[in-house]
Chains A and B, each alone.
Chain A
Amino acid sequence: MKEFMFLFRGDDKVWDSKSPEEQQMHMQEWQQWIGEMAQQEKFIGGERLYSHGNTIHPGGTKVTDRPLTEGKELVGGYLIIKADKIEDATEMAKGCPGLQWNSYVEVREVWPED
């Protein structure tokens, strides 16, 4: 099996517009989705990211106090999962609850150790 990374892109606008109850419900959908992958032993790990951060520019001296991209391009989190091929990983990614809340999911294969 290969490893793939799901990159979740989108800003916090939708999240922030929801009530705490809706947010909680939404997280339960994530729980369900990731839980199923874990049961099938396809889940490796992943984290949510805050939208703020710093960016260090090439050369290593210039630092700006925000992520490189903002708005809908912003990476809000990632998961690493196992699948046989990118088509399967893509099918799995379609179950991501964030898609209903205006997120993009980018599916990328992890470059294996040679």
Chain B
Amino acid sequence: MENRDHIDHTLNHLFRQESGKMVSVLIKIFGIENIELAEDVVQDALVKALETWKFRGMPDNPRAWLYRTAKNKAIDIIRHNKHSRVIDFSDPEKQLLTSGYTLTTTMDNYWQEQHIKDDFLGMMYACCHPDISQENQITFILKALCGFSTKEVARSFLSNEDTISKRLYRTKEYFRKHKIRPVIPTSDEINPRTKTVLNAIYLMFNEGYNSTHADQLIRKDLISQAMLLCKSLLSEKRTQLPEVYALMGLMCFHASRIDSRLTKEGRLILLSEQDRTTWDAELIQSGEQYLNKAAFGDELSTYHLEAAIAYQHCCAKQYADTNWEMILEYYELLLKIANDPIVFLNRCLVILELRGPKEALIALENVKNNKLLEKYYLYHATLGEIYQRLEDNRTAATYYQKAMQLTQSKQERQFLKDKIARILK
């Protein structure tokens, strides 16, 4: 008899990997106005798999089994709705779904590997339509393309199911109203549209990477799903852009270090104190390969530079070996492309490493009174660090206190608390 856990595990894994593709194909078949119908079919296929496999054991090719089940269910739905107005069959290709002479062959065509890939990427671009807010983009991607339940999406955002349902509803309404077609953009608009997609992927990745919540499983899920989405962009010629490779490399470098960032008790470990032997060498190597492939075309994106910085950290055998000069150079370049206060702050931290607290303080003073920075915990934490190095522990503690009030993360708060305790001893 098949092990139940084994079935659950395989199915869960398969579902994360394949449900988005199945939903995308089904949306192509049923139309963007019938997203719920597409999601229901995939959900039904999953339930049927669970029931059937438990009794008869796992099929030789579970993926093919799931796809076949979804396809057959889609044929049933088409037959049922042939004369209703639920599905719009006016497109010549769709019209062929309405006749017994052509239904099966047409349906098989929809499920060819190349079409599955195209439809999935097409949906990614549709979800990341520039008119949809970033929050809603990621919410929808997680639900429709990554097989997350509404509950899991809510957990990812530290939000509640009601809020998530509302966001999903709004996006669906947008699709319906504007009759958005889920296709890969044409070559003249692929660059800007891909930027939006990459932005959503990176935000999703960071949602998992930055330890704002303790749910380890969800965090790892977000990270692997973000990487999977990026990989699927790289599997298609039209979307193999330098920036996509760069982001993939960047995520590999970051992901290689996830297990070294927290203690068993969930406390943050600083980069300087992380056990570098736990870093995933294989991921670092993949990251390098992606970064090498990113070096074509004439565009240097923020992902290129961020990846280059992350790579410098990854290839330093120990903290003392870090090439801070190189990193500072990358930050200067980064500031030129994206005049982002957070990048500026990170640059100040590099200056602190390289030239000491006085220089770092001078650099920081250049951005004083920046409203955005004032609300950012890292700004105060950095000032705390600088004053601590200047041996002004009292001022340092005040800044750490302020930083503590501003972060949502339990781990970060604990980390700052420990620091204050240490310097006020």
Contacts and interface: CB of A to CB of B under 8 A. Distances in A.
Interface of A: 27-28, 30-31, 34-35, 38-39, 41, 43, 45-48, 77, 79
B100 interface: yes
B175 to A, nearest CB: 26
B96 A35 contact: yes
Interface string B65-109: 000000000000000000000000000110110111110111000
B98 A45 contact: yes
B79 to A, nearest CB: 11
Nearest to A39: B92
Contacts of B93: 35, 38
Contact of B96 (A38, A41, A47): A38
Interface string B130-145: 0000000000000000
Nearest to B101: A30
A41 B105 contact: no
A34 B92 contact: no
Nearest to A49: B100
8 contacts: A27-B105, A30-B102, A34-B101, A35-B93, A38-B92, A38-B93, A47-B99, A47-B101
Interface of B: 92-93, 95-96, 98-102, 104-106
Contact of B105 (A31, A45, A47): A31
Main secondary structure of the interface of B (DSSP, over half): helix
Given A30-B105, A38-B92, A46-B99, 19 more contacts: A27-B105, A31-B96, A31-B101, A31-B102, A31-B105, A31-B106, A34-B96, A35-B93, A35-B96, A35-B102, A38-B96, A41-B92, A43-B95, A43-B96, A46-B100, A46-B101, A48-B100, A48-B101, A77-B100
Nearest to A8: B101
Contacts of A41: 92
Contacts of A30: 101-102, 105
Given A47-B100, A48-B100, A28 B95 contact: no
Contacts of A45: 98-99
A49 to B, nearest CB: 9
Nearest to B89: A45
Contacts of B96: 31, 34-35, 38, 43
Contacts of A43: 92, 95-96
B202 to A, nearest CB: 41
B95 A27 contact: no
Contacts of B102: 30-31, 34-35
A79 B101 contact: yes
B37 to A, nearest CB: 22
Contacts of A77: 100-101
**Considering residues A30, A34, A38, A43, which has the most beta carbons from chain B within 10 angstroms of its beta carbon?**
A38
A79 B98 CA distance: 12
B91 to A, nearest CB: 9
Contacts of B92: 35, 38-39, 41, 43
Nearest to A37: B92
Contacts of A47: 99-101
Contacts of B106: 31
Contacts of B101: 27, 30-31, 34, 46-48, 77, 79
Given A38-B93, A39-B92, A28 B105 contact: yes
